[in-house]
Chain A
Amino acid sequence: MFTFILLNCISKLNGERTVYNIYHLLTGKKSTQTIQDSFAYQLTEYFGIYPALKRSDFQIEVDKLDQLDYIDFNKNGYVLVTSEGNEILAHHQKDFLQYHFQGMDHSKEVLIFANSLILFIQTCTHIAADQRSFIPIIDEQEIQKHVKNIWRNIPDEPATLLNQLYKELLMLLDNFSTSHIHMFLDRLTSVQKIGSTYEQLAQQYHLSKHDTYCVFMNIVYFIYMQLKKGANYRVLKLLMPQREKATRLTASAKNTFLLLKKGYTINQIAVMRQLRVNTIQDHIVEIAYVDREVDWSVFVSEMTRQSIINTTSNLQTNKLKEIKQSLPEEISYFQIKLALALKYQ
């Protein structure tokens, strides 16, 4: 599964980016460029789905694709899918219908949800079996607090909860292939058994540890998206994190945003925050992806914006340099980036 995701990303990047852009995408790096690219190349679903991915592991996977001749690099060092690679992709086209990732909008919440589900099952089964002392399998404080809070506010008996949860999972999991369901269940920890690591799953099911991670998370995304759509699974719903729609802004961009809303200009903000004008402009592009309220015409007039959009679609590219060269001199990179960002509002 991971291989297809990689190939899919590479294919969509159209030979205009390096593999590291994909790494940043998958790990959800909060940078203007990464956010911008994921919109421009329609890769938002993969944004931040795999924050724990190590760079060295990522490199190994890329090398594997290279050795299989599925990918190639052009003279700029940008990565491309070869015809062999495209065949593989075409062959597995319908697999993508089974992918439920929605990273850009939900990666943070889904990760919390996944870990909460794991810890909740561990907790609930232990208490139902009257074993109150156990070592939480999820170490993160945030998750432990979240689950404790849920626990405190549920009136039901553990046995009732487990029965309900059983019914809910029975229904939801039925949408997946048997092997995927087995992997999902093997990852979970209960009083009956400790879950497997992704590497152990990989050995057992003859996949890579990245595949097994993606298989697990794919199911979690599916469950989460069903809940978001309003499906009424009573117990699973409890596990959804409260903190909805944590904004995607970096901390620094948030500060810029506050000043912007107070009416300061870019230059003023740069002076106040002792940052470079370029940096503030990057923040503003970042903000443009998430906020509708700001009057963006201050930075890029409606007419300029329109001509940037037209040029982009004529050129069929997202390469800033090419776009810039085809536009009048006075239109800045900042304005181009901003116009591209506003396209996705």
Chain B
Amino acid sequence: MATKNLEAALQQYFGYTSFRDGQKEIIQSVLNQKNVFAVLPTGSGKSICYQLPAMIQKGTVIVVSPLLSLMVDQVKKMKALGMKNVIAINSMLSIHTKKTVLKRLNSYDLIYVSPEMLQNQLLIEKLSQANISLFVVDEAHCISQWGHEFRPDYLRLKEVYEKLQQPPVLALTATATREVQKDIMDTLELKEVSTHIHAMDKPNISFVVNKVVHIAEKTSGISELLQQYPVPTMIYFSSKKEAESVCYELQQKLSSLRIAYYHGDLDTDDRLLIQQQFMANQLDVICCTSAFGMGIDKSDVRLVIHYHMPTQIESFIQEVGRAGRDGQPCISVLYYQDSDIVIPRRLIDSELPDFSLIRYVLNYLFTQSIMDVKELETFFLQVSDNAETKWRFLQFQLEKIGLIQQHICQTSMFEQEDVLKRLETVIYQRTVLKKRKIQEMLQWVQTSGCRRKELYKYFQPNVRTPIHMCCDHCDFDWAEVALEKRLRKEQKWNWKDKLAHLLLQGE
């Protein structure tokens, strides 16, 4: 398709007048039936790279995406723009809907599937009969064992990809170290790949690390900061509880700011309300866990604060990436207190089962020669206090060695001791890897060098010159900070006026 036409199509379907950096080259490669591997920073508009081809090409585009909320949001957005033949297939769909969807797969331009759905044989079979024009792997870094968000489900991608007779692939990610990039291409065995790797660094952000002696100084520091700079702010926490409690504390201290918390335990109604309040500037500050931000594209976030250090550089980059999407200056402030190092370690422990749990569960499993997976799952969740992440890990490992096949555990072919050894080795390796990741993050916090260079060195050899100040080790000075303050206007209505305003009466 000629260049002009591409722009016209972009305008027609999405209403944007021009492409952003990188989008057009990627779309052209995709339309030329090439395998494409692209690293684009968060917020740069990765989704257009497959959504536009889905609209202008024949056939169906399949997108594998690990984030349920993200795909649901994307589908909603596209529908709102008038693109109706899109759907997200995930475990949340009712059986009835799934059935009707499966019957008319070919009528969709774009289908999002969650990785766990790739286990569904019926779906795979139907997909292999459909006319698939492009196979998109979103958040492709999840394939890599070395990636920070490795997902066992993603290893099935290769198998599925082969069953679909290897249509052109588009692998997308925002964060991939060079190590991970290679791993992704090796896993999918992609040949003749056209790669588009865009600079990860963000010239409009400045980096600051605040070391504190006492934990309490974090909240007081944040509170002073926000008093001075009442700008759209996200504060990241690694625990839901603390996101809530610090939120309450800040509400007390900063009565002129509107502050809310957001984490995975909120119900859907509240999530939608809080997200949209933040987007609509009805909230100034959001205290959140990493659950927030996926699919949020507020362009004028000026301050991203980390109350806790993330467990790896990649997460950190992703989270600070939500600041200043409009290109205006913004600041990242990370708070660190010496005992913080135990938190990420604890998080690791909550993700991987410990040896004694594994031993206990295997003892149970090996009392029988055949067991339904559901039974094992129930048992596991019972004895592990509902540790679902740990269960998924175990299930995948048992499938990998063939002990679980077609939802049945069959122990007769295995020695309990061997299985145990194997699992222990994997857990050990993963723990070592995760610890290494934490170490990298910690090194960045402790570094005396330029934070910008240190942060991006895993991804690219050079960084661009920052448009404002660089970091607290180069030139950062709060006195020089000029963030535009936002004043809130609030009116006191009587109820009749409030109702009239709400329903657009008499204005």
Bound-complex Cα distance A163 to B502 (A): 11
Instruction: Tell me the residues in window 188-233 of chain A with beta carbons closer than 8 Å to chain B beta carbons.
Output: 188-200, 203
Residues of chain A within 8 A of B81, CB atoms compared: 133
Task: Please determine whether A194 and B276 come into contact, CB atoms closer than 8 angstroms.
Answer: yes
Task: Please determine whether B499 and A135 come into contact, CB atoms closer than 8 angstroms.
Answer: no
Task: Please determine whether B276 and A170 come into contact, CB atoms closer than 8 angstroms.
Answer: no
Give the shortest distance, in Å, between A133 (CB) and chain B (any CB): 4
Partner of B270 from the list A138, A185, A191, A199 (CB cut-off 8 Å) is A199
Known contacts A52-B267, A133-B81: A197-B273 contact under CB 8 Å: yes
Task: Please determine whether B504 and A190 come into contact, CB atoms closer than 8 angstroms.
Answer: yes
Bound-complex Cα distance A306 to B444 (A): 82
Bound-complex Cα distance A189 to B505 (A): 15
Partner of A163 from the list B260, B268, B269, B505 (CB cut-off 8 Å) is B505
Give the shortest distance, in Å, between A239 (CB) and chain B (any CB): 14
Partner of B504 from the list A139, A170, A192 (CB cut-off 8 Å) is A192
Bound-complex Cα distance A197 to B274 (A): 8
A182 at the interface (CB under 8 A from B): yes
Known contacts A181-B495, A193-B280, A194-B280: A139-B269 contact under CB 8 Å: yes
Please, which residue of chain B has its CB at the minimum distance from the CB of A163?
Answer: B505
Binds B, one of A12-20, A124-132, A265-273: A124-132
Give the shortest distance, in Å, between A157 (CB) and chain B (any CB): 12
Residues of chain A within 8 A of B268, CB atoms compared: 139
Instruction: Tell me the residues in window 104-155 of chain B with beta carbons closer than 8 Å to chain A beta carbons.
Output: none
A137 at the interface (CB under 8 A from B): yes
Residues of chain B within 8 A of A193, CB atoms compared: 280, 282, 502
Partner of B495 from the list A166, A178, A198 (CB cut-off 8 Å) is A178
Partner of A192 from the list B274, B496, B502 (CB cut-off 8 Å) is B502
Bound-complex Cα distance A18 to B22 (A): 64
Residues of chain A within 8 A of B504, CB atoms compared: 125, 128-129, 159, 162, 190-192
Contact with A along B282-315 (1 / 0, CB 8 A): 1000000000000000000000000000000000
Size band of the interface chain B makes with A: 20 to 34
Contact with A along B469-507 (1 / 0, CB 8 A): 000000000000000000000000001101111111100
Instruction: Tell me the residues in window 172-194 of chain A with beta carbons closer than 8 Å to chain B beta carbons.
Output: 173, 178, 181-182, 185, 188-194
Give the shortest distance, in Å, between B144 (CB) and chain A (any CB): 32
Partner of A194 from the list B77, B80, B273, B500 (CB cut-off 8 Å) is B273
A40 at the interface (CB under 8 A from B): no
Contact with A along B256-287 (1 / 0, CB 8 A): 00001000000111101110110010100000
B359 at the interface (CB under 8 A from A): no
Task: Please determine whether B274 and A125 come into contact, CB atoms closer than 8 angstroms.
Answer: no
Task: Please determine whether A135 and B276 come into contact, CB atoms closer than 8 angstroms.
Answer: yes
Task: Please determine whether A134 and B505 come into contact, CB atoms closer than 8 angstroms.
Answer: no
Partner of B498 from the list A163, A185, A197 (CB cut-off 8 Å) is A185
A300 at the interface (CB under 8 A from B): no
Task: Please determine whether A165 and B269 come into contact, CB atoms closer than 8 angstroms.
Answer: no
Residues of chain A within 8 A of B273, CB atoms compared: 137, 189, 194-197
Please, which residue of chain A has its CB at the minimum distance from the CB of B506?
Answer: A166
Bound-complex Cα distance A173 to B498 (A): 12
Residues of chain A within 8 A of B76, CB atoms compared: 135-136
Please, which residue of chain A has its CB at the minimum distance from the CB of B277?
Answer: A194
Residues of chain B within 8 A of A162, CB atoms compared: 503-505
Give the shortest distance, in Å, between B78 (CB) and chain A (any CB): 10
Bound-complex Cα distance A185 to B272 (A): 18
Q: List 24 A-B contacts (CB under 8 A).
A: A121-B502, A121-B503, A133-B80, A134-B80, A135-B276, A137-B269, A166-B499, A166-B500, A166-B503, A170-B496, A178-B495, A182-B498, A185-B499, A188-B502, A189-B273, A190-B503, A190-B504, A191-B504, A192-B502, A193-B502, A194-B273, A196-B273, A197-B260, A200-B260
Identify the 10 closest CB pairs spanning chains A and B, nearest first: A133-B80, A181-B495, A194-B276, A197-B270, A166-B503, A194-B277, A190-B502, A162-B503, A166-B505, A139-B268
Q: Which residues of B contact A (CB under 8 A)?
A: 73, 76-77, 80-81, 251, 260, 267-270, 272-274, 276-277, 280, 282, 495-496, 498-505
Q: Which residues of A contact B (CB under 8 A)?
A: 52, 121, 125, 128-129, 132-139, 159, 162-163, 165-166, 169-170, 173, 178, 181-182, 185, 188-200, 203
